Chain A
């Protein structure tokens, strides 16, 4: 069969379909979005009636995937790294309940924060939850590993993580496919009560999870994805994790590496191979495209044993994404840099699209806030975060999904008034609704601007679950009808929007202002689920 040219994300999506999933569950988040998007557009998925509608947030998506696994079917749950924080409760506890049908958590990390607010390394969280983790070094490996991940999940009755990074997610390569496998039939676990985490059962299950660890370590030791490539020069041994293996090998295109190399793509670490390389070699260089998770472990808290080089001793940068040049430098190879960037080249940061409704919203908001002074607008995650940049300079905080509402409440509780927040429609249903209920209960003096562009804009225009029901949600949560104000943000309505925001700031209770105009990128696209 001709190889298909697929993004890393697409290779994972195709692999999951070929491995017989019955559902994919996710909330959009760069760089993981394209996995679910691919399945939504797949004929194979339609024929197999594979569930692929977006979830409201990562927590609901993971719990739903766990429910599908409980029923005996295979489920894939995808998220960006910070999405895993939202799903942390089901994530950790599902390791304790165990899985029934194959259950894979695909987490896409973003070292260098290309499109994120941190660069946390999800491998640390797989370790924290005591579950195995795959870290592919190529699109083909990502495709193949998904099969192994589902098989391992069913064999060991445990959820399995696959950790990728932005670079693999958004890089294309040829991928050879396997024969598709049928979906599972519904089949309850012989002991369905293991899913009840009452303390008495949870204690037993937790011990069982710990008892699984030697078998998981053995699986890593026998994994074809963890390879020991011997070398004659034992002055240095190199441990390369995931994609870092490619950056290493890029530097040995013309001549073979003389040092022993341990390629690690499946965790827990293959203990015997680690013992071998550290015993045989004088020093070890460990290359991880993320946090120095395993470097720290090998080094030990007091750093009195092994000689370990990596991100912690400055051999590699402490932060950010790796690349072939940084690895070359760590190996003492000469720099290959071409000409410098001419001094006249200036940065070109991202900006709101021409004609974007958020521009009109910020123009009105800035006019109102001028007399109230700085520091009183709390924002959230989405295109409107670009309101932090000139010419708007309109917002003061962006913490996580939904925090605009709750941070504004905290500041209002402290007496810093007025408290105004800006949150998108999709972010509001993701994590803003619960904070709004907190405000309603205390009648907090707060003005919540739900900038409604009727889509999930920043990730490419996925359907927003707020669409067509925003006022009902706010009313249902207890916001007074007369303080839910809708307006169309257009230059001709500028005065109207200014007046609405002013009136609602003056009201000493909960107000919701909804400037509603569709994202100019999605105008004309149908608003249907699948």
Chain B
């Protein structure tokens, strides 16, 4: 099993916590992992991305070659589009529909979503709203991860276990909120 995943968003949106959960689950399964992150200047409200690679076999490059990503997981719709050159023809694009507008020339949201829907295999969901309804907008990440969960090649209970492990020291309430968010996202992906 091998999955190449591009995580996308805007600096400060916390895409790395999605990577942390997938990474914890993959390591628990004894898989190899490489995850290239963005630190430094771009973190200040700029576009950020992370290349996450998990595999049964040793991984060579820290960067995913173009056209080879199995998944783009994005917490922002325009940022999802920025990495289309990396998505394979059979790949899935999972993104939140909620735009993060911090540039004056941000395109019309409906045009952005129309482009997203041109991708053959996509899941679009308002992760922020779902998270808000569950009690905390900050769990939007986990809603997105839930929506991506059917395509990760990792059993759902392993992701749940990873959430318990990673968020465990923040207390039961935080763990449960994130678990609910994960499940809500998964429900939408399954339709």
A binds B: yes
Instruction: List residues of A whose CB falls within 8 A of some B CB.
Output: 2-3, 5, 7, 30-31, 33-34, 114-115, 167-168, 170-174, 243, 246-247, 249-251, 253, 323-325, 328, 335-342, 344-353, 383, 386, 458-460
Query: Measuring CB to CB, which residues of chain B are less than 8 angstroms from any residue of chain A?
Result: 10-11, 23, 27, 32-47, 59-69, 78-79, 81-82, 84-89, 91, 102-103, 105-107, 111-112, 115, 119
Are B44 and A7 in contact, with the CB atoms below 8 A?
Answer: no
Minimum C-beta distance from B50 to chain A (A): 9
Residue of chain B at shortest CB distance from A459: B40
Instruction: Determine which of A171, A336, A352, A383 lies in contact with B65 in the assembled complex, contact meaning CB atoms within 8 Å.
Output: A336
20 further contact pairs, Cβ within 8 A, besides A173-B33, A344-B107, A346-B105: A31-B40, A171-B62, A172-B33, A172-B34, A173-B59, A174-B32, A246-B60, A250-B65, A251-B65, A324-B64, A325-B65, A338-B89, A339-B85, A339-B119, A342-B81, A345-B81, A346-B103, A348-B102, A350-B44, A352-B44
**Given A247-B61, A337-B85, A338-B84, A30-B107 contact (CB < 8 Å):** no
CB-defined A-B contacts under 8 Å, sample of 10: A115-B39, A173-B59, A174-B33, A323-B63, A335-B66, A338-B91, A344-B78, A345-B107, A347-B103, A352-B45
Contacts of A338 in B (CB 8 A): 66-67, 69, 84-89, 91
Q: Which residue of B lies closest to A173 (CB)?
A: B34
A458 touches B37 (CB 8 A): no
Chain B CB within 10 Å, residue with most, of A3, A168, A249, A339: A339
Instruction: Flag if B36 contacts A171 (CB, 8 Å).
Output: yes
Would you give the shortest CB distance from A122 to chain B, in whole angstroms?
Answer: 18
Is B40's CB under 8 angstroms from A167's CB?
no
A31→B39 contact, CB < 8 A? yes
Contact A340 B85, beta carbon cutoff 8 Å: yes
Contact A348 B46 (CB under 8 A): yes
What is the CB-to-nearest-CB distance from A519 to chain B, in angstroms, rounded to a whole number? Answer: 11
Decide: B35 and A171 in contact? CB cutoff 8 A.
yes
Q: Chain B: which residue is nearest A172 at the CB level?
A: B35
Which 9 A/B pairs are nearest by Cβ-Cβ distance?
Answer: A115-B40, A30-B40, A336-B67, A350-B46, A250-B61, A249-B60, A350-B44, A171-B62, A171-B36
A-B contact count, CB below 8 Å? 154
Known: A114-B40, A171-B62. A341 touches B85 (CB 8 A): yes
**CB–CB A337/B66 < 8 A:** yes
Given the known interface contacts A167-B36, A171-B36, the answer about A350 and B45 at a Cβ–Cβ threshold of 8 Å is: yes
Q: How far is the CB of B2 from chain A (nearest CB, A)?
A: 9
* A240–B65 alpha-carbon span in the complex (Å): 18
How many angstroms from the CA of A250 to the CA of B66 in the assembled complex? 12
Q: Which residues of A contact B42 (CB under 8 A)?
A: 114-115, 350
Given the contacts A114-B41, A342-B81, A344-B112, A3 and B107 also touching, CB distance less than 8 Å = no
Decide if A337 touches B34 in the complex (CB within 8 Å).
no
Do A171 and B37 touch (CB < 8 A)?
yes
**Which residue of chain B has the shortest Cβ distance to A139 in the bound complex?**
B34
Return the chain B residue nearest A247 by Cβ: B61
